[in-house]
Structure 1
């Protein structure tokens, strides 16, 4: 600036200050050239509108040359000013700023930075129809880049971006409609957006885009419809808008062959609706589908066509229709093709069709089952999952198909699938094996391939369906003694018992059923009790929401095969509960408390509590085989586990009972004679008034001290009262097959109840009704007290 001009300006300034009026003189327009990006970025902050227009245009041109330039502009801070300029009041500035921002947003680094600018509301605001097409094009281009990100999708939805985007689908500018369509496609990956598109009337404009001159728009419209029609209401809207006719037009036009695969996916989504199926059938759609299925060398189209058939087969009426068209033959042929996607879709269709009884038989008659079995060896995890699902449905309630799978050696491959990592495959395999194992021959074959060991890991799964099917399969297999022994060896009882803690009803029911089956022998029953199964079942049966007939049955079975625990918990042994070697009376145990095993009790130091009474009916004599085993396999010099001592006194009593009581013909006489034998062995009759003088407590304490154990064999007791005598009576009665119960009362009381017929058996006189009696073993041994009479009640209670 010259000195003269400077002086004039100063004078003008003074004049303004003095006269308080603005200077009327301005600069002439000044042309400029920006040589560096940094300069242009600085100009984005200019107050001059013309400069802003040119700066935005220069930024766009520079950014169009490549990602390097876009990253450079990002580093120079161009993003912030551009985000502000898209809301400028000047339309030209706004348009140029959008163009620059839209071009830059294609870059990943720019997109990440743009997410932090909270610019989405401003962009959506400019999607109104009042803006020109250029703004629409680059605003939607910018959103299209951002909408691939989950957070940005949520922001577009929350800021009500869908309504204007749906409007712009009908834009005459193909770039605007394409960009808007791309944004909507990204949004409808989420459920809430899929519902919103239908509610906002988005399906008609999507269908209109199927007539576009641009294949990319047609493809994108179909893909969007594919996502939207996963909702049933959207399928109904599609039908109401004659959408199927438009899609079938595409499928019937070979010029649109590149669109057929996606179009078939849209059709597949809607095929489960019977009204839609009827509509397509009336238009010859099913015939066209079958043509696609048989189209050679086009696996993508074939697989999608088969998926349509699988969807059609979801309805029983549709399955009947497909069966009449011999769809089973076509599917069996497809199972032998090379393409994995086609075979997978065919297996899924077989699964769906297998709900139709006639189709199950057709697949077997057509030789389809061995073909599906071979697919279990395929490398594709998806195909193996579909194959196991097909076999599960084929063998459900169908013995002939189960045998067909067995003949194809499918059981061996299915056991191997139980070790797989895919939960669906494991669940399907367990279900199929469970279906097959209902036949004894197949069950033995399945067990020979170590199926029990393979099921142990699935029992630890967190997948509900895996647990449901695995427990059910185990329940079927555990019918065999060999299976229960294998489960015990494989440590599978622990995860099974743990399932009693589940709150899933179906898993809990199946687990209880499996426990019920596994409790069929003493070793498994004892082990499950040791793992806390009884305590868990007690809690379940006390719960209003969790208890069921399954849990009650499991509890009963577990107790029936673990009589010591049953007696401790319930205080009652029925006449059918036969005491055997190893039975012990640990006393009454509160509900929810675990009953210790005999070995665990043997490890406890001698205490002041009442002794555990042990019943050991074993003779203790070794057979020749036992002697040979001892000679061949001498025990290692390690600490020996606890072993029950021989109860010689009990053996003598048992011998006397067999010699003197069994020959008696009268049941009453047998009962009285056995009662006197028990009484004599345990101190004889004791008058009620002198019970306090009977030295049974001291006697048992001395036995514990002598044995240095809390466990006392019942045959060693010479001074026994009610509970000891009743147990001995039950033990001897069971050994000579005389029916009686054992009931625990309060205060060391216990008694036996017998059922006898009245009358004289020598004269063949018997009353029609049996009578229940309580056996007196204490005061007048051999006396039979009619149940519920005062005398019987007096014997059963403290009443002294």
Structure 2
């Protein structure tokens, strides 16, 4: 009806239990992973999509998702009914499968059947892309290869090679390539598995019991691929870690099988063989067998290899072969190994250098080989390794230094090459073994007096004193090193210890610098000679060796002077021309003198201790008056009287404070303009002057005595005397002190009141 309003029909009301749509956004992976358990397809699709984008950003994100538990729900969602959820889940799974830990979990969750089932033609192409990507990642694992093949996965993969999508093709080809590796020779992989299993003791016993050793040897003997041979040799080396197995392998002629493999041209085989030889050489019989089968020479030749791995393995094998085996060491030398190894010391990596140094140390135990090694200039070649930061290298090279410096030539070469500062520096190493080896090398080098003196200048004594004061660092090696250095330098020994035994000889150049404190450097005579004269205690020096001096006649013959020439020519009535000529010659001589003066400034002669003629005369007199005596006691008495007379005669014990020895010494210092006084020039000497002279003369005429420093300038000599034989044998020698001051020649038994009075104020 026109104009009549029609009542609008009311819309049906929404159910009371319905929930309005709610957009969900999250910036946390934990929240998104929780959404994978949602019952709503839209939420699941968005969650899978978000996880895919997050996983694409890197392996760290994939690890995070794995830790949050995303893998298990994703493996379920790839079979979801909803197409979008299924597609997005595959995208996430395909990307995450590139992670090793994720692959292991997927394999455990048995994801492969579900993935293969989605390779059907009617499935979405995006699903194909990420499903094949997932399989390509899983197929690198041997177990997964088998499962893919058993689940008939190869057929759909071959079909997808004709897919229009290039990514599907690529992933399918990669997966197929991994699968067909299974059809290759499995021996190499099987041997690799056996090698890993041999880490377990029970597995080793099982393989031995089942005849596994014989089978391993067959792979070595039978011609096959280098990879198979390499893995077989590695397995043998692993088995040979047991002493019982080494014996069994030796009985089965394993040495010949390994030596035959050295004839191959494969570097991996060479490396594996050398490593096996190193292990098998722990058996003495195997060591000898390798030599008898001429197996040492080809290993030596491998030191020429350009491959560092081969070179290091060869050096390791030779180190084991030569350890405690002189014949093998000789065989290495006969193969001209010294030349190759010295070259390696100069320019090779630390691992190889360490083994080479060990080989040379083993060889150096034989004198002939040691000399050969030195001849090949091994010591200069050691300078670079001695500066290494690798502890193993330093341990082995310091051992080699100790071995080579047994020879005088070796010590001289180390000194001339500048190796002593490096050796002394290693005494301060915090590594116990390096410090110990350095101490041993120092003790060997100290057998040479010039070398010992140089090490003392470099501070070796102070370092060793510090070490020996430490309870933690002190060792027998440090004690021996310190003692050897002191024994090689009696002057420093006397200064530091205050005692010289009858075996410590005071040769020319000996001096008494006074008592030095522990840890402080004792100055050399040359250092003292450069000092300005001072009020301190004079330094007493010993030098009875005449210096070579040219006679005046020889000097005149070599360089005649002007007055001699004038006398030959005649001075009176000489012509004017002669005068002019003489004047010109004088100018030439003047210029020559100036040139020589400049040359002498630029080339100063090294300082040397002046010759002591008075001391030399005392030596001659002692040889005439003391040596002819029949009894030791008579010799000591005669020598004591000689010393007493030379140094001012006897001094009354009550009047010794009036004996002007101090004034006399001061006058000598001023006269000589030096703090060093030759002992023969001292005509008024007290206890320590006389005791030193007695010791110096006794050492030169072969009379045994010691020199002991006391307090307050008291010094004395101790001698050993036996009483006359009465009961058929000599009693134990007794210690006596020789009186050089008050009753010259009197022998006072140590410990008696008279001896104690002589020793103290």
**Bin of the TM-score, shorter chain as denominator length:** 0.7 to 0.9
SS of corresponding position for 1:125: coil
Structure with the larger RCO, 1 or 2 (CA within 8 Å, 6+ apart): 2
Q: Deviations over 1:339-362 (max 9, x none)?
A: 101110011011111111111111
1:773 aligns with 2:698: no
Alignment partner of 2:502 out of 575, 579, 587:
575
1:321 and 1:95 mapped to 2: Cα distance? 64
2:226 equivalent in structure 1 = 299
2:184 and 2:225 mapped to 1: Cα distance? 10
Displacement of 1:164 in angstroms is 5.7
2:465 equivalent in structure 1 = 538
SS of corresponding position for 2:434: helix
1:718 aligns with 2:702: no
SS of corresponding position for 1:404: helix
Change over 3 Å in CA distance of 1:506–1:694 after alignment to 2: same
CA contact (8 A) 2:532 2:674 kept: yes
CA contact (8 A) 1:168 1:177 kept: no
SS of corresponding position for 2:504: coil
1:448 equivalent in structure 2 = 375
Displacement of 1:207 in angstroms is 9.2
1:168 aligns with 2:109: yes
1:792 aligns with 2:755: yes
2:428 equivalent in structure 1 = 501
1:622 and 1:393 mapped to 2: Cα distance? 58
Displacement of 1:273 in angstroms is 4.0
1:704 aligns with 2:669: yes
Q: Deviations over 1:471-530 (max 9, x none)?
A: 112211111000000000011111111111123222222211111111101011111111
2:250 and 2:624 mapped to 1: Cα distance? 74
Q: Deviations over 1:725-748 (max 9, x none)?
A: 111100000000000000000111
Q: How does 1:502-581 map to 2 (within 5 A)?
A: 502-581=429-508
SS of corresponding position for 1:743: strand
Displacement of 1:590 in angstroms is 0.7
1:181 and 1:772 mapped to 2: Cα distance? 93
CA contact (8 A) 1:105 1:142 kept: no
Q: How does 1:110-509 map to 2 (within 5 A)?
A: 110-111=57-58, 120-121=64-65, 124-128=68-72, 132-134=76-78, 139=92, 141-145=94-98, 147=99, 167-168=108-109, 172-173=113-114, 211-214=146-149, 257-294=184-221, 296=223, 298-509=225-436
Q: How does 1:44-59 map to 2 (within 5 A)?
A: none
CA contact (8 A) 1:364 1:401 kept: yes
Displacement of 1:166 in angstroms is 7.4
Q: Deviations over 1:396-424 (max 9, x none)?
A: 11111111101000111111111234111
CA contact (8 A) 2:65 2:71 kept: no
1:690 and 1:214 mapped to 2: Cα distance? 116
Structure 2, unpaired ranges of 5+: 1-11, 16-20, 79-87, 117-130, 154-179, 560-595
Change over 3 Å in CA distance of 1:518–1:91 after alignment to 2: farther
TM-score w.r.t. the length of structure 2 is 0.78
CA contact (8 A) 2:112 2:148 kept: no
Change over 3 Å in CA distance of 1:180–1:661 after alignment to 2: farther
Change over 3 Å in CA distance of 1:213–1:575 after alignment to 2: same
1:360 and 1:540 mapped to 2: Cα distance? 40
1:560 and 1:549 mapped to 2: Cα distance? 16
Q: Deviations over 1:51-105 (max 9, x none)?
A: x9xxxxxxxxxxxxxxxxxxxxxxxxxx979997555446645654566567667
Change over 3 Å in CA distance of 1:553–1:81 after alignment to 2: closer
2:392 and 2:53 mapped to 1: Cα distance? 49
SS of corresponding position for 2:346: coil
2:654 and 2:135 mapped to 1: Cα distance? 102
2:550 and 2:394 mapped to 1: Cα distance? 46
2:321 and 2:114 mapped to 1: Cα distance? 54
1:22 and 1:527 mapped to 2: Cα distance? 109
2:501 and 2:221 mapped to 1: Cα distance? 68
Displacement of 1:142 in angstroms is 4.0
Displacement of 1:275 in angstroms is 2.6
Q: Which sits farther off after the overlay, 654-663 or 686-695?
A: 686-695
Displacement of 1:771 in angstroms is 1.9
1:793 and 1:402 mapped to 2: Cα distance? 60
Q: How does 1:596-611 map to 2 (within 5 A)?
A: 596-611=523-538
CA contact (8 A) 2:74 2:93 kept: no
Change over 3 Å in CA distance of 1:179–1:565 after alignment to 2: farther
1:59 equivalent in structure 2 = none
2:147 and 2:558 mapped to 1: Cα distance? 93
Change over 3 Å in CA distance of 1:214–1:344 after alignment to 2: farther
Alignment partner of 2:517 out of 582, 587, 590:
590
Alignment partner of 1:737 out of 681, 697, 702:
702
2:506 and 2:151 mapped to 1: Cα distance? 82
Displacement of 1:566 in angstroms is 0.6
2:513 and 2:381 mapped to 1: Cα distance? 38
CA contact (8 A) 2:500 2:707 kept: yes
Change over 3 Å in CA distance of 1:91–1:318 after alignment to 2: farther
Q: Deviations over 1:523-555 (max 9, x none)?
A: 111111111111111122222222121111111
2:46 and 2:221 mapped to 1: Cα distance? 54
Change over 3 Å in CA distance of 1:535–1:123 after alignment to 2: closer
1:102 and 1:121 mapped to 2: Cα distance? 8
Q: Deviations over 1:402-460 (max 9, x none)?
A: 11101000111111111234111001000000111111111111110011111222222
2:18 equivalent in structure 1 = none
2:151 and 2:405 mapped to 1: Cα distance? 59
SS of corresponding position for 2:496: helix
Change over 3 Å in CA distance of 1:631–1:282 after alignment to 2: farther
1:672 equivalent in structure 2 = 637
SS of corresponding position for 2:393: helix
SS of corresponding position for 1:265: helix
Q: Deviations over 1:551-596 (max 9, x none)?
A: 1111111111011111011100001111101111111011111112
SS of corresponding position for 2:193: helix
1:754 aligns with 2:719: yes
SS of corresponding position for 2:227: helix
1:362 and 1:765 mapped to 2: Cα distance? 59
CA contact (8 A) 2:394 2:434 kept: yes
Q: Which sits farther off after the overlay, 91-100 or 275-284?
A: 91-100
Change over 3 Å in CA distance of 1:180–1:596 after alignment to 2: farther
2:390 and 2:272 mapped to 1: Cα distance? 24
SS of corresponding position for 2:654: helix
Displacement of 1:770 in angstroms is 1.9
CA contact (8 A) 1:140 1:180 kept: no
CA contact (8 A) 1:310 1:349 kept: yes
Give the greater-gyration-radius structure (CA): 2
Structure 1, unpaired ranges of 5+: 1-20, 25-45, 53-78, 149-155, 186-205, 219-252
1:666 and 1:594 mapped to 2: Cα distance? 42
1:412 and 1:706 mapped to 2: Cα distance? 59
Q: Which sits farther off after the overlay, 356-365 or 98-107?
A: 98-107
SS of corresponding position for 1:419: helix
Alignment partner of 1:661 out of 618, 626, 643:
626
1:262 and 1:215 mapped to 2: Cα distance? 20
Q: Deviations over 1:117-175 (max 9, x none)?
A: 79825873323458615287655544455x58xxxxxxx8xxxx899667436764468
Q: How does 1:100-111 map to 2 (within 5 A)?
A: 100=49, 110-111=57-58
CA contact (8 A) 1:83 1:101 kept: no
